[in-house]
Amino acid sequence: DAGVTQSPTHLIKTRGQHVTLRCSPISGHKSVSWYQQVLGQGPQFIFQYYEKEERGRGNFPDRFSARQFPNYSSELNVNALLLGDSALYLCASSLEGGAQTQYFGPGTRLLVL
């Protein structure tokens, strides 16, 4: 079975621009979570969505938003990009929301210049 897939794999943007990252969960999984991993650090939780509803939100500004579609795929949007948004963005899926075991995709590496 296919694992979690993310697109694009790499992305270069300039400050002030907007970016959309995409994630498809493992087949049968209904929940998607997003994390930001800055180089040399552990991932930081951004959002979890389950059945198209936001279940949890981390300590990120309102420039970060997300949504989940009826097929359980998800988009993460970041507006007004800052240099500090440069990171690896990881998507994880789980069968259901909450404390279920999360399985991670390969990530999208975003560079903001």
Contact set with another protein (CB under 8 A): 4, 31, 33, 35, 40-45, 48, 50, 55-58, 90, 92, 94, 97-107
> Which of 94, 112 has the CB closer to another protein?
94
Long-range contacts of residues 95-103, Cβ cutoff 8 Å, at least 24 apart: 95/28, 95/29, 95/30, 95/31, 96/30, 96/31, 96/50, 97/30, 97/31, 97/48, 97/49, 97/50, 97/51, 97/55, 98/31, 98/50, 98/55, 100/31, 102/33, 103/3, 103/4, 103/26, 103/29
Min dist. Cβ of residue 84 to another protein (A): 18
> Which of 76, 105 has the CB closer to another protein?
105
